[in-house]
């Protein structure tokens, strides 16, 4: 029987659910999250091991966060009651701000999500995002894995197409196209060792931009006119990542710009920065095909950082420049 949770809290804990087939890279992603330079003192990690031995939990013990393990079953079926009970205990003991849940490789998010959204827990916790890690090799062999494999992808708010360094470059383009065809409206980011920035996981529709870590690779340039520059590092070059920026002091035509954003190729998976429209300046957070717009009271010029995979940056920048309002 679950422990009582008490009165309505002043805040809710944000839950991040990590899903993905066996060996896709969930623990790699979790370790990366815990290595970020952020205050994780109010973060609890819940790891679900399908077997008796908690390997993943042992790997995370030195993360600085409290790590709790559920073993000998799967939280989507035999351990669903244990999951509910464990979350209640976590709240009563830690009152965390964040809860990171790494499900087992054979867990079905369709069965986990109802537990997380159950009335007994939902007033204390809020499922912010389900992230599914997809091994590129697994996508190629997807017909062998059955409904569970597709459920993990369909339930994802964000899919990380991981291990892109292990397949041919042209295959990534094909995989991205196929995933969007099979799962319309999906949000997909190709990754190398689950390399992803914090905001891609935690960004919300509320104006919290100033409280979050800045996008990596982004180095603002001060300029009185339109400019762009391409930036690289060793990892980006090795995996065909492209990073570049667009800046302009002039007003951006909102209709043309939003059409530009909606028509970007899937290989452009990250854009961040303020955009100056005629009547306001807004902060754009674009991740894997999805856009979020929030009010912005900082600098008034348009200043956008782009991250893509094997794309023609000059072509993208030319189209961005065509959105400048013709006075």
Question: DSSP H helical segments within the chain, as ranges?
Answer: 26-35, 55-60, 80-94, 109-116, 119-122, 136-140, 147-154, 169-182, 198-202, 234-238, 254-262, 313-321
Q: What is the three-state SS of 229-248?
A: CEECCHHHHHCCEEEEEEEE
The C-alpha atoms of residue 40 and residue 184 are separated, in whole angstroms, by 34
Do strands 188-190 and 158-162 pair parallel, antiparallel, or not at all (unpaired)?
A: parallel
How much is the pLDDT for 220? Answer: 27
314 three-class SS = helix
In whole angstroms, what is the distance from residue 58 CA to residue 263 CA?
A: 45
pLDDT recorded at residue 254: 96
- Residue 226's pLDDT is 38
Q: Out of 33-37, 38-42, 48-52, 283-287, which region has the weakest mean confidence (pLDDT)?
A: 48-52
pTM for the model: 0.69
Among 15-29, 195-209, 212-226, 276-290, which stretch is predicted with the lowest mean pLDDT?
212-226
pLDDT beyond 60 at 60? no
Averaging pLDDT over each range in 51-60, 170-179, 226-235, which range is the top one? 170-179
**Which domains are delineated in the chain?**
13-196 (3.40.50.300), 211-321 (3.30.1220.10)
128 or 235, which is more confident?
128
- What percent of the chain is modeled with pLDDT above 90? 35
Q: Dihedral, CA atoms, 4, 9, 14, 15, nearest 10 degrees?
A: 10
Range among 104-108, 141-145, 171-175 with highest mean pLDDT value: 171-175
Collapsing DSSP to helix, strand or coil, 197 comes out as coil
Q: What is the pLDDT of residue 210?
A: 29
pLDDT value at residue 308: 83
Q: Which of 162, 172, 198, 140 is nearest to 266 (CA)?
A: 172
pLDDT in tens, 99-111: 999 887 778 898 8
């Amino acid at each position: 029987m679950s422990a009582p949770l008490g009165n309505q809290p002043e805040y809710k804990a944000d839950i991040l659910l990590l899903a993905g087939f066996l060996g896709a890279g969930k623990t790699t992603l979790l370790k990366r999250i815990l290595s970020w330079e952020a205050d994780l003192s109010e973060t609890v990690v819940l790891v679900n091991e399908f077997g008796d031995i908690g390997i993943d939990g042992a790997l995370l013990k030195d993360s600085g966060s409290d790590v709790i393990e559920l073993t000998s079953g799967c939280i989507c079926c035999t351990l669903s009651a244990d999951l509910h009970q464990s979350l209640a205990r976590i709240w009563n003991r830690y009152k965390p701000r964040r809860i990171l849940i790494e499900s087992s490789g054979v867990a079905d998010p369709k069965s986990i999500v109802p537990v997380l959204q159950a009335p007994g827990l939902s007033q204390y916790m809020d499922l912010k995002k389900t992230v599914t890690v997809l091994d590129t090799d697994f996508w190629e062999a997807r017909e062998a894995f059955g409904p569970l494999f597709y459920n993990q992808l369909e339930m994802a708010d964000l899919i990380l197409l991981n291990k892109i360094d292990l397949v041919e470059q042209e295959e990534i383009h094909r995989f991205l196209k196929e995933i969007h065809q099979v799962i319309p409206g999906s949000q997909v980011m190709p990754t190398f060792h689950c390399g992803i920035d914090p905001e891609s996981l935690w960004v919300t529709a509320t104006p919290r931009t100033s409280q979050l870590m800045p996008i990596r690779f982004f180095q603002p340039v001060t300029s009185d006119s339109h400019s762009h520059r391409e930036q690289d590092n060793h990892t980006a070059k090795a995996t065909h990542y492209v990073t570049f920026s667009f800046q302009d002091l002039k007003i951006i035509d909102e209709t043309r710009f939003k059409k530009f954003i909606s028509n970007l190729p899937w290989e452009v998976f990250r854009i961040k920065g303020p955009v100056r429209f005629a009547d306001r300046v807004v902060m754009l957070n674009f991740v894997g095909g999805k856009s979020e717009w929030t009010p912005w009271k900082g600098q008034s010029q348009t200043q956008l950082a782009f991250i893509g995979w094997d794309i023609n940056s000059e072509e993208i920048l030319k189209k961005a420049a065509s959105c400048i309002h013709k006075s």
